[in-house]
């Protein structure tokens, strides 16, 4: 079957793609929680950050660098938030690691 993210990567369902390379894809979230809400998704399926391996180090670093690039492209000069949810209590809704990039408004603390 595959997750919704695998279906987007395979172009089985449409998404607004902002960036793509051989390692990841960046899309706009379809249920944005901020004026800018993008998802940085690795093409290699890693179910969640707690299940990542040491061999995933370069992929995980790449995701953060692409989130930074996307923040620049989206003109989030006043600040932004990067979030990785893990597990049910962490707010994970899709079992495929992804990085949320959110900005365009004042973020509150604590989140959630």
Which residue's structure tokens are 């660098």? 65
For 100, residues 6+ apart whose C-beta sits below 8 A from its C-beta are: 29, 37, 38, 39, 81, 82, 83, 84, 85
How far apart (Å, rounded) are the C-alpha atoms in residues 95 and 48? 6
Residues 58, 61, 63, 67, CA torsion sign: negative
How far apart (Å, rounded) are the C-alpha atoms in residues 108 and 106? 7
Cis status, amide bond into 110, omega within 30 of 0: yes
Catalytic positions? 98
């Amino acid at each position: 079957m595959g997750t919704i993210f695998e279906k987007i990567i395979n172009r089985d369902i449409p998404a607004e793609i902002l960036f793509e390379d051989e390692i990841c894809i960046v899309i706009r979230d379809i249920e944005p929680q901020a004026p800018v809400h993008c998802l940085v998704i690795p093409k290699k399926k890693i179910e969640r950050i707690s299940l990542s391996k040491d061999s995933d180090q370069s992929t995980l670093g790449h995701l953060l660098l692409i989130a930074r690039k996307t923040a620049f492209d989206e003109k989030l000069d006043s600040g932004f938030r990067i979030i990785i949810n893990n597990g049910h209590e962490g707010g994970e809704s899709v079992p495929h690691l992804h990085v949320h990039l959110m900005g365009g408004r004042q973020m509150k603390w604590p989140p959630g």
